[in-house]
Amino acid sequence: MSVLWPDAVSVLRRLALLALGALVWELVARSGMFSPIIVPSITRIGRELWWLAIRPESLVEAWYSVQRALSGFALAAVAGVALGVLMGRSALAAAVLGPLFSGTYPIPKIALFPIFIYLFGIGSLSKVVLIFLECLYPIVVTTQAGSRGVNRVLLWSAANMGASRARILWRIVVPAAAPFIFAGFRIALPIAMIVVIITEMISSADGLGYLVMYSLASFKTDRMLAVVVAIALLGVSLDWLVVRLRDRLVFWERLDSYYAD
Amino acid sequence: MGGPDMAPQTPQRSEAPRPSRGAPRQARGAPRSPYRLLALGVPLAMLALWQVASRFDHPEFVLSPIEIARHFVEALRSGELLPHVGASLVRSLPGFVVGSLVGVVLGLLAGVARSMDQLLSPVVFLTYPVPKIVFLPIVMLWVGIGDLSKIVVIALACFYPCFINAYYGARGTPTIMVWSSLNMGARRSQIFRKVVVPSALPLVFAGLRVSLALSFILLFSTEMINARSGLGFLIRQSESSLRFDLMYVAIVAVAALGYAGDRLLLLVRRRALAWQEVTSR
């Protein structure tokens, strides 16, 4: 049995629940028990999805959401890895920043969104800042844990061979913590998607979250569900990209992910 | 006390079943006394700086910490706050309890039984990166615009971290322990109860912690999108009616609730995992 192409029976067995769900949905939709507004049939959702995929206007909306999510995430990745490495390798930094992070970690940052709207305007910036803040925590926490656990022998040998502190951080600590850093990325990226959709649903005039609310308000539930499916596909493919990137960069450790089989 | 507590949340799904990694992963220890002073000093200094800065010219929507504290006490007395806290808790607690309970149970089952694994895992892992908030509109259509739609969405969001962590926790049970208990004549149900569940417990708590945080995020966003009560509604309403005092009071209440819930969970974990604290030190 090859890893890439498992045999048809096992694929079927794995997707049985999904297929069953789709079948039940379609039967309920066709039976006429509910209005098509409440349970639109899968064929209609599929048609709307096709429309979403080929119309440039809807692609622009998706681009807005992706752009916001990725810019907040990228900022958090850079700042989070830097802070995490610092806190993992310096007792002083851990003592100063640690309580600040662990104290504010359980606070739902989404509550600050109204303040951010006043501070940064109702456009993209307030959303990006909130995404940055929400993504920062998991990345810092995992990076710190990873850079704390770096094998001492590696650090000693690097120091012995005359590497400077900055060089040790960049060449030893960051690669050694890379599996942890990527674990943080994989937690943070879905959070970025959640926050971008939430903020767009709460206050926005563009983006996929807005499109969801707009379709609902105009009772186009088939279109709304098509947008939901599109968001889902987007989330899965972004996660897939992170896993691919991780397997490229952290080639010495295999990730037990669901994309391999 | 904060720093080391956060570490167990780290291994989420991929790194989970890998207990040792070369170097001894001892925590750098609790902050010693000079550091502890510093740890307390930095947030205090920031608050003081904020207070001093608010003496100067500043926009109307920025309040000083002392003002916020005064308004908070006022809102507590006048009863402007507590009904909303109650409304929020009525939505978030059932959602959290139901979602995480179902998640933990199914995750443990999928971790030990291959048929459950093949049935559930593909669906769960494929839908995991989907932001669950997008289901709010469709759930609203099905069960109405009231509390139930919010509870369902919160339960849905809480399900995933619990399922995934319980799944990896159960799968990471040391095989040698299962073999030994089989050897000593334990029944399958006994092995599940006495071996699999305890060894999955640390990760289960990590999942619960993520779920709890998610439940608050979902709570406030569902309340901001549509509600007539609750803290999210209070924030939104006071913001749009320019009552910034009440907005800050609600935000502080949100922060306090999130913080208290997290501490409570950590307390429960410390009791439930007392044996682990001993063995890991």
Find the radius of gyration of the CA atoms of chain B: 22
State which residues of chain B have pLDDT below 50: 1-29, 31, 279-281
Distance between CA atoms of A12 and A202, rounded to whole angstroms? 39
**A236-248 tens-digit pLDDT:** 889 889 988 888 8
Return the pLDDT at B23. 39
Query: Above 70 in pLDDT, residue A181?
Result: yes
At position B210, the amino acid (one-letter code) is: V
What average pLDDT does the segment A119-141 reach? 91
Check A194 against B262: CB less than 8 A apart: no
> Where does the pLDDT of residue A96 fall: very low under 50, low under 70, confident under 90, or very high at 90 and above?
confident
Return the pLDDT at A126. 93
CB of B179 less than 8 A from some CB of A: no
Q: Judge residue A57's burial from the number of C-beta atoms within 10 Å of its C-beta, 0-12 exposed, 13-18 middle, 19 or more buried.
A: exposed
Query: Above 70 in pLDDT, residue A95?
Result: yes
What average pLDDT does the segment A165-180 reach? 88
Check B14 against A15: CB less than 8 A apart: no
CB of B141 less than 8 A from some CB of A: yes
Question: A56 vs chain B: nearest CA distance in angstroms?
Answer: 22
Scanning every residue of chain B, which has its alpha carbon at the shortest distance from the alpha carbon of A117? B239
CB of B185 less than 8 A from some CB of A: no
Per residue, the 3-state secondary structure of B61-89, as one string, reads: CCCCHHHHHHHHHHHHHHCCCHHHHHHHH
Q: What is the ipTM of this complex?
A: 0.78
Of A14-18, A92-96, A139-143, which range is least confident?
Answer: A14-18
Return the pLDDT at B22. 40
N residues, chain B: 281
Return the pLDDT at B33. 59
Question: A247 vs chain B: nearest CA distance in angstroms?
Answer: 12
What average pLDDT does the segment A192-210 reach? 88
Q: Which residues of B touch A149 (CB under 8 A)?
A: 21-23, 25
Q: What percentage of residues in chain A have a pLDDT greater than 70? A: 92
Check A99 against B39: CB less than 8 A apart: yes
B231 vs A108, A183, B127, CA distance in Å?
Answer: 12, 32, 29
Check A232 against B247: CB less than 8 A apart: no
Check B3 against A99: CB less than 8 A apart: yes
